[in-house]
Chain A
């Protein structure tokens, strides 16, 4: 141990010793993930419109029902068969809607190929990459904002930190109320209020993660060892210092474990939120369902399954390391 030569002029502590470096690096890493997730989230202010957006979308979906149109036009000619250069060429790069129009209005023959299924769906995966990433970003941003909000409120919802019974019970009741609202309902209401897209999804996930995290975190705060808190009170520490030095080190591993769990739940939830117009892959899934593009639906479900499995694996591993 290096001894300072003169006790009145101690050597300046390195940044590392003061613990500043570790907290700074952690903070920067978290911010980077957050910024990466929140940029290109696809929140466009112009879309914060009224019920008009809803009506337009409903109209579009009704008009686009392809099978009804094919069924209603008599010269539709659909053949299952192997593709060759002649039959393939006219259809390359065409959407299902183009195909339906061509079949119904121009009397063209549409070949639906069994053999190009894989190729078609691999290229479709590239199309849904954007919405998929939007889903992931929504989940990350929602979990981040939810955690930010959850930290102060879980302190207020912990009986061992709040002396005032009124504050404690008020916070608890509000949180219980929030938790009773299913995330899907929350997203539906919010997309009505905020317009279609990622914004209502993020807000819904923020509220959802917030309520879940506060519940989990406040209960682990209540279970901490009260000894260090007593020691700090005896040192003349104030409430915030007690929280920083006595509570945070004790609950940090649990907090991070809960957070990865909430992130995992958010990913699962956000895949479905699109059903009510809250952006992400769920919206693509719903469009494909309504347009009866079941091959695409199958691909999306497989992709979501993969995403959820990967998320679960990663968050389980992280939790194993932390607890």
Chain B
């Protein structure tokens, strides 16, 4: 359902973040992309919703080329792609509900949304999304009153509220402690199973990648150096991906 064809990205400063990436992601897969920081994981994931515009190559989603979409088509496509971030990217001064409703912006008319007039169905959807990640009691709190793990769940709820077909997660647990990391990953995995949402997660913890992924993609210096099912990878595979010995800080640990 998602196909990277010879995707290359060179940043204006000359950094080659992606070099001729070819990948095929199947519907409903839970894919974890591993690699050291700077390997191009974030750039790869941002090509999917074109927060990063690839320099060349094409990205085919449901038969359409994302890289050549015009502004309107692109916004339409982005509504189908939920995304969560390392730093949660919530509006800290707004309420949790309002943050989650932001996920409906792409589906709501400009004027209606500017006046805050979301439909009853949208508000209900937002509340149900919050229930699914288990923080409905925080609906009317301000986002900055929540802990890191709670904020990340709000951002998952925001993505859910888009009713996406694809979920992107850019280092979703890098700012969290081990137990919270696992519960956030479990949430993502559960949503992937229940809704059949294709999920792409960037991680640099190899134990978490092995635990949650269906499929692992290894990246080094902008190139895909490994691609295979999660149960076939070993420590040896990771050492090849990282190009060095595995260190303790490559592991998150802390399974409850």
Listed residue (A17, A231, A249) with the most chain B CB atoms within 10 angstroms of its CB: A231
Cα-based distance from A20 to B49 in the complex (angstroms): 31
Does A18 have its Cβ within 8 Å of any Cβ on chain B? Answer: yes
B128, closest chain A residue (CB): A7
- A-B pairs with beta carbons under 8 Å apart, 13 shown: A7-B124, A19-B98, A23-B116, A227-B89, A231-B155, A232-B105, A235-B79, A235-B106, A236-B78, A238-B110, A241-B114, A245-B91, A245-B113
For the residues of B in contact with A, the DSSP-based class is helix
The answer to whether residues A241 and B110 also contact, given A10-B121, A232-B102 and a CB cut-off of 8 A, is: yes
Known interface pairs A231-B158, A234-B78; A10-B120 also in contact (CB < 8 Å) = yes
Question: Please, which residues of chain B bring their CB within 8 A of the CB of A241?
Answer: 105, 108, 110, 113-114
Contact indicator B114/A235 (Cβ below 8 Å): no
The answer for the CA separation of A246 and B102 in the assembled complex, in Å, is 9
Cβ of A246: which chain B residues have Cβ within 8 Å of it? 91, 102
Give the distance in Å from the alpha carbon of A23 to the alpha carbon of B117 in the complex. 11
Say if the beta carbon of A12 comes within 8 Å of chain B.
yes
A231 with B123, Cβ < 8 A, contacts A19-B116, A236-B106, A237-B105 known: no
Give 3 closest A-B pairs by Cβ, nearest first.
A236-B106, A10-B124, A227-B89
Choose among B75, B91, B107 the residue with the greatest number of A CB atoms under 10 Å from its CB.
B91
Residues of A at under 8 Å CB distance from B?
A: 1, 4, 7, 10-13, 17-20, 23, 225, 227-228, 230-238, 240-241, 244-246, 249-250, 252-253
**Is A231 within 8 A of B89, CB to CB?**
yes
B114 touches which of A10, A244, A252 (Cβ 8 Å):
A244
Decide if B212 is an interface residue (CB 8 Å cutoff): no
* B102 in complex: contacting residue of A13, A17, A235, CB < 8 Å: A235
What is the distance, in angstroms, from B153's C-beta to the closest C-beta of chain A? 14
- State whether A230 touches B78 (Cβ < 8 A): no
In the bound complex, how far is the Cα of B110 from the Cα of A23, in angstroms? 17
Residues from chain A with a CB closer than 8 A to the CB of B83 are 231, 234-235
Q: Which among A23, A225, A236, A252 is the interface contact of B115 at CB below 8 angstroms? A: A23
Q: How far is the CB of B176 from chain A (nearest CB, A)?
A: 16
Nearest residue, chain A, Cβ from B114: A244
Task: Name the CB-closest residue of B to A252.
Answer: B93
Q: Which residues of chain A are within 8 angstroms of B58 by Cβ–Cβ distance?
A: none
**Does B127 lie at the interface of the complex (its beta carbon under 8 Å from any beta carbon of A)?**
yes
B85 contacts A by Cβ under 8 Å: yes
- Are B155 and A17 in touch, CB under 8 angstroms? no
A162 to B155, CA, bound (A): 26
> For A237, A238, A252, which residue has the most chain B Cβ atoms within 10 angstroms?
A237
Known: A10-B121, A227-B85, A231-B85. 13 other contacts (CB 8 A): A1-B131, A12-B120, A18-B116, A18-B118, A227-B88, A231-B83, A231-B89, A231-B90, A235-B83, A235-B162, A236-B77, A238-B110, A253-B93
- Residue in chain B with minimal CB distance to A21: B116
B97 interface hit (Cβ, 8 Å): yes
Chain A CB within 8 A of B210 CB? no
Q: Nearest residue in B to A2 (C-beta to C-beta)? A: B127
B115 vs chain A, min Cβ distance (A): 7
Closest to A253 in B: B93
- Across the interface, do B120 and A245 meet the contact criterion of CB distance under 8 Å? no
CB of B124 within 8 A of CB of A4, answer yes
Contact call A249/B113, Cβ cutoff below 8 A: no
